[in-house]
């Protein structure tokens, strides 16, 4: 590697990192600064730093910078500014990776009432935690249960759209996983009809599993669903992690690696 090539690597994230190239320099500078400040608090004021609060401070700073430098970016257009995002919603949560040859799609919804659109968030990751894509959509449902089922149907169709062959679809409504496993469940007939539609296209996959996880493990998609603007009718798609999701994704991977180790 030449000296020029070596220097150019300073300005690009390592392969498979969650940070987009255009944010890398800002991310490194902001992270170094806030971590150094947290270290100073520990050394000079004997205040033990919180990794979550430090991550939130980095995220807030980067988001403000993005809005200032790129006023027409997604952060501005789709109201994804951290000023509108509850940063205390970030949680320490581990994520259960799929098998090595599979892709996991987590899905969650945000339900207000039967008159309001249900927002759906979905997130695709490899077994090493690498971000593949994410998105959000809206649908209508008469109950939270029905909304969860519609969210799973949307996730199945997204997998088909991306021509995925081996997938694991994970939601935090246990009845859904039980239904696909052939276990007797207490679901409404509308919810069952939605799941039957999803089941009818499952034979288009080489392998598809429906799994349950608790809400803590599903927190990334909870954030995606909560961030969705209900007034936007078109689906949103992210080929790179949105800035406001980076910290939770990173915490998921750290917790996952610690658990595996």
- Residue-wise pLDDT for 77-129, tens only, equals 443 444 444 444 555 567 888 988 999 999 999 998 888 889 999 999 998 88
Which range among 53-62, 85-94, 185-194, 203-212 shows the weakest confidence by mean pLDDT? 85-94
Backbone angles phi, psi at 149, to 5 degrees: -65, -40
In degrees, rounded to 5, the angle at the alpha carbon of residue 158 between the alpha carbons of residues 152 and 164 is 110
> How confident is the model over 180-201, as a mean pLDDT?
95
The pLDDT of residue 261: 31
The pLDDT of residue 258: 37
- What gap in Å lies between CA 246 and CA 154, rounded to an integer? 23
Tokens of 246: 């980076």
Which of 33-47, 71-85, 106-120, 187-201 has the largest mean confidence?
Answer: 187-201
Sign of CA pseudo-dihedral 172, 175, 179, 182? positive
- Residue-wise pLDDT for 7-33, tens only, equals 777 777 766 555 666 677 777 888 888
The pLDDT of residue 105: 96
Which range among 80-94, 119-133, 145-159, 174-188 shows the weakest confidence by mean pLDDT? 80-94
* Residues 6 or more apart in contact with residue 63 via CB below 8 angstroms: 75, 80, 81, 82, 83, 243, 244
* Residues 6 or more apart in contact with residue 144 via CB below 8 angstroms: 109, 111
- pLDDT at residue 61 is higher than 80: no
HEC letters along 171-227: ECCHHHHHHHCCCCCCCCHHHHHHHHHHHHCHHHCCEEEEEECCCCCCHHHHHHHHH
The domains located in the chain, with CATH, are 3-89 (no CATH), 103-260 (3.30.420.10)
**Max Cα distance, the chain (Å):** 66
Mean residue pLDDT of the chain comes to 81
- What gap in Å lies between CA 238 and CA 21, rounded to an integer? 15
The pLDDT of residue 190: 94
For residue 29, how many C-alpha atoms fall within 13 Å in the half-sphere facing its CB? 8
Q: How confident is the model at residue 259 (pLDDT cuts 50, 70, 90)?
A: very low
Which of 34-38, 117-121, 224-228 has the largest mean confidence?
Answer: 117-121
């Amino acid at each position: 590697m030449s000296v020029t090539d070596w220097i150019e690597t300073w300005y690009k994230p390592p392969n498979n990192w969650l940070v987009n190239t255009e944010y890398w320099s800002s991310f490194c500078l902001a992270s170094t600064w806030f971590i150094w400040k947290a270290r100073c608090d520990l050394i000079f004021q004997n205040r033990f730093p919180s990794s979550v609060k430090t991550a939130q401070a980095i995220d807030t700073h980067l988001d403000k910078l993005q809005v200032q430098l790129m006023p027409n970016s997604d952060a501005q257009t789709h109201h994804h500014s951290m000023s509108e995002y509850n940063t205390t919603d970030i949680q320490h949560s581990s994520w259960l990776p799929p098998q090595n040859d599979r892709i996991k799609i987590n899905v969650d919804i945000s339900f207000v009432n039967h008159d309001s659109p249900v927002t759906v968030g979905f997130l695709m990751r490899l077994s090493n935690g690498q971000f593949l894509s994410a998105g959000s959509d809206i649908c209508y449902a008469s109950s939270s249960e029905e909304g969860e089922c519609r969210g799973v149907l949307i996730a199945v169709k997204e997998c088909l759209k991306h021509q995925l062959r081996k997938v694991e679809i994970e939601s935090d409504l246990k009845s859904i996983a039980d239904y696909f496993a052939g276990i007797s469940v207490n679901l409404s007939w509308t919810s069952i009809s939605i799941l039957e539609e999803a089941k009818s296209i499952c034979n288009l996959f080489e392998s598809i599993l429906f799994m349950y996880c608790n809400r803590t493990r599903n927190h990334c998609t909870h954030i995606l669903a909560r961030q969705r603007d209900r007034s936007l009718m078109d689906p949103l798609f992210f080929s790179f992690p949105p800035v406001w999701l980076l910290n939770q994704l990173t915490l998921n991977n750290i917790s996952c690696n610690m658990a595996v180790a």
